[in-house]
Amino acid sequence: MKQGNDNAELTYRLDNLETRLAFQDDVIEQLNHEISVHQQHIKELKEQLNLIGQKVRDMNTSAVARQEDETPPPHY
C-alpha cells in the first residue's frame, strides 16, 4: 500500500510542477512581449530627442545673433 501512496504523491507533485512550468512559460512570453514594446518606445523616444536636439542647435545658429554681434541700443 505504501507503493501506491508514493506513486500518487509523485503524480501529484509532477502535476504541480507541470502546471507551474506552464504558467512560467506564459509569464516569460508576456515579459518578452513587454520588453519588445518598451524597446520600440525607447527607440522612438531617442529619435524624437535627437530631432529636438537638432532643432535646438539649428535655432542657436540661425535665428539668434550673438551678443557681440548686436549693435548697442540707442541710449548707450
pLDDT digits (tens, 9 = 90+) for 62-73: 655 566 667 777
Residues 73 and 46: their CA atoms lie apart, in Å, by 42
Residue 76's pLDDT is what?
A: 60
Residue 64 lies in a domain: no
**Domains contained in the chain, number:** 1
At residue 60 the predicted structure's pLDDT band, cuts being 50, 70 and 90, is confident
Is 52 among the domain residues?
Answer: yes
* Cell numbers found for residue 41: 518606445
Answer yes or no: is 65 within a domain: no
Q: Residues 25, 30, 34, 36: is their CA dihedral positive or negative?
A: positive
Does 70 fall in a domain?
A: no
Is there a domain that residue 32 lies in?
yes
Mean local confidence (pLDDT), 44-61: 92
What is the Cα–Cα distance from 26 to 14, expressed in whole angstroms? 18
What's residue 74's pLDDT?
Answer: 78
Q: Is residue 19 part of a domain?
A: yes
Q: What is the mean pLDDT of the chain?
A: 88
Residue 26 lies in a domain: yes
Please tell me the distance from the alpha carbon of residue 59 to that of residue 56, in angstroms, as a whole number.
5
Domain coverage including residue 15: 2-56
